[in-house]
Amino acid sequence: MCGIVGTLNLTKDHPIEVPTLKRMLATIRHRGPDEFGIYTDAHVGLGNARLSIIDLSTGSQPIANEDETLWIVFNGEIFNYVELRPELEARGHRFRTTSDTEVIVHLYEDFGPDCLRHLNGQFAIAIWDKRRRELFLARDRLGIRPLYYTVTDGSLIFGSEIKALLATGRVRAEIDPTSLDQVFTFWSTLTPRTIFREIFEVPPGHYALAHDGQLTVRRYWGLSFPTAGEEDSRPEGEIAAELRELLVDAARIRLRADVPVGAYLSGGLDSSTITALIRNYTSNYLQTFSIAFSDPNFDERKYQERMADFLHTDHRRVECTHADVGHVFPDVIWHTETPILRTSPAPMFLLSQLVRENDIKVVLTGEGADEFLGGYNIFKEAKVRRFWARQPESKLRPALLRRLYPYVPQLSAGGGSYLEAFFRRGLTDITDPAYSHQIRWRNTARLKRLFSAEQRAAVTAPDPVAEFTATLDGDFARWSRLAQAQYIEISIFMSEYLLSSQGDRMLAAHSVEGRFPFLDHRLVEFCSRIPPYLKLRGLNEKYILKKSVSDLLPADVCQRAKRPYRAPIHHSFFPPKGVLPYVDELLSPAAVAAAGYFDPQAVARLVKKCRRGRLVSESDDMALAGVLSTQLVHRLFVEEFSVPTGDDLHPLKLCTG
């Protein structure tokens, strides 16, 4: 985990100023507080805020090749650098450090952008080629590490977080109405958009080249699946064995570090699997960390303690109350830099704080298993609805849906007629490419009733779903129905929300690096070839994973039904006693009207409902989180953004060319 920043004169000759780069680094020093480095010449400035994990003594950035014609700043980890280095040495390269960063720069010397195909890792990379006057920016295959950019007044400005761009004083934050419309449909924007006008992200699996005044963005990797019926046809035992082998190696290489490594242990199958692999296949001393909730509706400590006892880990947990969520929410939004429709990142913020307080810089987690091995209820929901669509008048088939959402009161406790009506919408539209997600998106889009007339009028792409489906190529239609649903979930929810707002940003807030064995690209590509019936056997999710690791886990953990990670919302902002001043202020009619995104009267009705302290709907909870987080984004980044000087960055390495 590090942070990178930079500025390039694309079509105009602006002064490349060290104070500007220092301000940029100062805004993201939480990503890498251990040391700082800057490179400048007449055309470019590069900066790095380093979290020292590998090669603590000689891995300071920026790093150059042998003749200093290439300079790199890098955020992330290359897990196969140990294997790549001897190959590069055999090709004549000379190394000054033992870091993974230097491996990248030598690979780039030999292969240019194709070097990315050799890397197994999670990364955001910036390489300056002095001879060609060319800047190379790249992001890992799945978007684990962030990378943002904008072009303004002839300059390309980039950074690991948007606030670094704003710190230049040349970029202004302005919420894009179309982006906000997307958030209130998909829970996130569609890449390469961000919530702010003219600020973009390098999409996952892409790189950008800036040369001769032009910026070109190209894809080097994309998620793909076999044609339906042409998946891996081997016996399930062989597939399970290979899955286990790949998981073991993915976890093993992610333990490479010169500092202690811990693990998250939620009590679910995925994190328990990763923790069990570390315990059974390595000799590492292991600290594990988890979130417990004071509210039993969200608490899973029973299973966390079960796994910690079973694996004999040194286990720590943070107990999260409703008040804790409300208290840290402004800090959470400062780090997400985007509106969110859930409060789930808040406990993750507290969890990474616990990790850092225990002097751990790196944790392994189980993200990715649900997406790539069919773990989410949305996959089951689509399967049941397709089954129901064959006999739309059946009263028995829709009853299967009652099993999926016991944590949504109006679906689980409501009468059968309500549940049937909720899931019947679009039931027979089975040729719709987004069939699996249309109910979720329609339900989320209902929140737009809170938008102001001005916000509605300013949206330039009024159908975000059509905008997304237009990006799907011809191969998509040939995949299995489950593969189609997985692709949508991975490309929007996972990359844009789970790995960003709930993942990287909450970890980086306390200078912690997350590593994700299930997101090893070898494992991802293998899982894409597994037949759907081995991922979702009936309504039994992640069947092949359970088969693969059943001997490593207690049966009650291995076979327990998936329970989504969730956090309280309205009780966190409207406690029974006391008030949160920032909530009252930002949701007041005057503040809502001044910001201009929402209708003050509609928000007032929502606030009144939530203040009563009674059960509110899932939709109202999302609306509250969405409105409040948008108001916070406006306050923190549009109205009151402040920039530190960066004069206290220490130690600071300065390089010039």
Judged against a pLDDT cut of 70, whether residue 415 lies above it is answered with no
Tell whether 135 and 210 lie within a shared domain.
yes
Q: Are 428 and 149 in contact (CB under 8 A)?
A: no
What is residue 401's predicted lDDT score, i.e. its pLDDT?
Answer: 86
Is residue 446 situated within a structural domain? no
* Residue 142 domain boundaries: 2-173+202-221+650-656
Q: What is the mean pLDDT of residues 543-566?
A: 92
Is residue 601 situated within a structural domain? yes
What is residue 413's predicted lDDT score, i.e. its pLDDT?
Answer: 57
Tell whether 9 and 87 lie within a shared domain.
yes
What is residue 377's predicted lDDT score, i.e. its pLDDT?
Answer: 94
- The answer for residues whose C-beta is within 8 angstroms of residue 579's C-beta and 6 or more apart is none
- The residue type of 202 is V
Tell whether 297 and 206 lie within a shared domain.
no
Q: Each residue of 145-171: pLDDT tens digit?
A: 999 999 999 999 999 999 999 999 999
Tell whether 367 and 507 lie within a shared domain.
yes
Is residue 584 situated within a structural domain? yes
Is residue 423 situated within a structural domain? no
Q: What is the mean pLDDT of the chain?
A: 95
Tell whether 7 and 129 lie within a shared domain.
yes
Q: What is the mean pLDDT of residues 100-116?
A: 98
Sheet of 134-139: strands edge to edge? 63-64, 70-78, 121-129, 134-139, 206-211, 214-219
Is residue 402 situated within a structural domain? no
Tell whether 548 and 574 lie within a shared domain.
no
Question: What is the domain-level CATH number for residue 101?
Answer: 3.60.20.10
Tell whether 554 and 576 lie within a shared domain.
no
Judged against a pLDDT cut of 60, whether residue 412 lies above it is answered with no
Give the end of a domain, one of 503, 524, 558. Answer: 558
- Domain count within the chain: 3
Judged against a pLDDT cut of 60, whether residue 414 lies above it is answered with no
Tell whether 546 and 587 lie within a shared domain.
no
pTM of the model: 0.96
Give the end of a domain, one of 558, 587, 616. Answer: 558
Is residue 284 situated within a structural domain? yes
Q: Are 262 and 291 in contact (CB under 8 A)?
A: no
The band of 282, judged by pLDDT with boundaries at 50, 70 and 90, is: confident
Is residue 85 situated within a structural domain? yes
What is residue 406's predicted lDDT score, i.e. its pLDDT?
Answer: 72
Give the end of a domain, one of 558, 588, 604. Answer: 558
The band of 564, judged by pLDDT with boundaries at 50, 70 and 90, is: confident
Judged against a pLDDT cut of 70, whether residue 409 lies above it is answered with no
Tell whether 624 and 552 lie within a shared domain.
no
What is residue 411's predicted lDDT score, i.e. its pLDDT?
Answer: 63
Judged against a pLDDT cut of 70, whether residue 26 lies above it is answered with yes
Is residue 625 situated within a structural domain? yes
Tell whether 94 and 117 lie within a shared domain.
yes
Tell whether 158 and 42 lie within a shared domain.
yes
- CA 98 remoteness from chain centre: 29
Q: What is the mean pLDDT of residues 587-596?
A: 98
What is residue 410's predicted lDDT score, i.e. its pLDDT?
Answer: 62
Q: Each residue of 499-514: pLDDT tens digit?
A: 999 999 999 999 999 9
Cα distances (Å, whole numbers) of residue 228 to 54, 236, 483, 517: 43, 17, 9, 27
What is residue 263's predicted lDDT score, i.e. its pLDDT?
Answer: 97
657 exposure class (CB count in 10 Å sphere: 0-12, 13-18, 19+): middle
Judged against a pLDDT cut of 90, whether residue 205 lies above it is answered with yes
Q: What is the mean pLDDT of residues 90-101?
A: 96
Of residues 230 and 461, the one with the higher pLDDT is: 230
**Above pLDDT 90, what percent of the chain?**
90
Tell whether 145 and 292 lie within a shared domain.
no
Sheet of 155-159: strands edge to edge? 200-201, 148-152, 155-159, 2-9, 44-50, 35-40, 652-656
Q: Cβ atoms within 10 A of the Cβ of 608, count?
A: 9
